[in-house]
Structures are given as structure tokens and as C-alpha cells.
Amino acid sequence: MPRVLGSRYELRAMLGTGSMARVVEAYDLMLDREVAIKFLRSDAADAEGRARFVREAHAAASFVHPHVVTIYDAGEEGSRPFLVMELVRGPNLAEVMRSRGPLTPGESVTIAAQMLDALAAAHDLGWLHRDVKPSNVLFVDATTIKLADFGLAKSMNDVAGAITRPGQVLGTPMYLAPEQSRGRRTTPSSDLYSVGIVVFQMLTGGVPYSAKNLVELAIAHQESPIPPVLRDDVPDALAVAVARAMEKDPLDRFPSARAMQAALLAAVATPQFAAP
């Protein structure tokens, strides 16, 4: 007999597991719909892990957006918190790139524009994502995505108040802005840097910096020259926009998610680069 959580959620197949949480498919018996439930792993259920989990619930539940995975409910099973979320069955962007390789300029901009739309909404409400990466970009259908995993999200007021310990680095190293890898204050511009890295990867098939260890990788993000997007079918305007998003100094990047979105869309406005 299927296990039922809280007399409401019928637990089904495992969807995935990570360092912080595991995600299970479930059925909401009360509202008659499929959902996904994220459980905090027992080995991550310390005070900081629980605080991140609560922040994710607060961040994602504070707004409903067509390109953000919706949080429906939250609770605890014993001493472990869980989140009930919209179920997105499609693959994530990392899986798509592994199977397909580089995407077209139009496809890349279509995906990035939706990511930036979601981030603009979050930034407007005072939230930073802080862990933008391909595995957190989920496909609803062939061209529609939703941004997931606000587990490292933080209120800008909290960031300004230095709630994160000095020198503490959170996020995925390949996509971290230089100021993040230094453990300094993050801003909306830090999220835009991560989007720039993701767009670079969609267009080229690889991340811009690689290294033997995390320290060298952080230094590369901080000091190495920004590599160009070398691809004949990528418009110059798009390559320039990607490079601007990856600038070392936050003040040299786009002033907002909407400004970056506008630049990317304008770069592929000609018919041969029209997004699908």
C-alpha cells in the first residue's frame, strides 16, 4: 500500500536526490493533482540546512510566476521539513545539453529570456537566487522553462545584513560570480553573471573556465580573461551581451535582469536567428 504523508500526499517514485534533499513524486489526494515533494536529507538537517529549506519556501512562495516552480505547501515529517511543489516532468537544461550539445542562438536566448523574467520578478521582491545553473532550469515543454531550487535564495536585506558568515561561499563553483567566490556580498548582478555563464555554455557546449581544483576555478572567474563565443552563427550582438554579463566587476554588467533580457532578445531579432 502506498505511503501517505500527512493523510494527504500519496508518495510514489523517487525523482532525484542531491546533497541537500531528495525529491519524490506524489499525489495530492485532497486537490486531486500530481505534485513533487522535496524532503531535506537527514544528513543535511542541521540548523543551516533547515534555514536554507525555510528560505526556499519563503522565497518561492512569496510570488507566483510562469517561469518559477510553484511551491504549494510545506510541513514537517518528524523532524525533517518538506516542500510540496509543482511537478515538472521535463528534463533539466543540463540533461538537454548533455544529449544535444550546443543549442542554437534562438533556443539559447528563448531559455535565457525566461530565466531572466523569473529573476526579475524575484529581484523586484527583494530575493536573490544565488545558485543559477543548468540543472535548476526545468523544461515544461520544448520551449518553456521554469527556474527551480531557491534553496540558496536570500533576501537582499539579509545579504546586506551579512547573515552569511564572512568568507562563506555558497553556490555551484562553475557558475559563481567572482564576488560570490570571494565570499563577498551578492547582488542581483551576481545572478546575472550566472545566467551569462549558462548562456555561454548553451552556445559553446562548455563552461568558460576550468581548473584542477575549486581554488583555481574561483581564481579563474576572478582574474582570467573572458573567453569569446567562437561560433559563426552567433550574432556579434549576442556574443557582446554574453561577455558583458560575465564581466568581473558587477558595475560593468547589465543594470538589471530586464536590461539583460532586452539585450539578448534584440541580438536575435533578425529572422535567421528568431527563437522557436
Q: CB 265: neighbour CB atoms within 10 A? A: 17
Which of the residues 46, 73, 117, 131 is marked catalytic? 131
Q: CB 187: neighbour CB atoms within 10 A? A: 20
Catalytic annotation present for 131: yes
Q: What is the CA radius of gyration of the chain?
A: 19
Residue burial 13-48, b: 16+ Cβ < 10 Å; e: rest: eebeeeebbbbbbbbbeeeeeebbbbbbeeebbeee
Q: Which residue numbers are catalytic?
A: 131
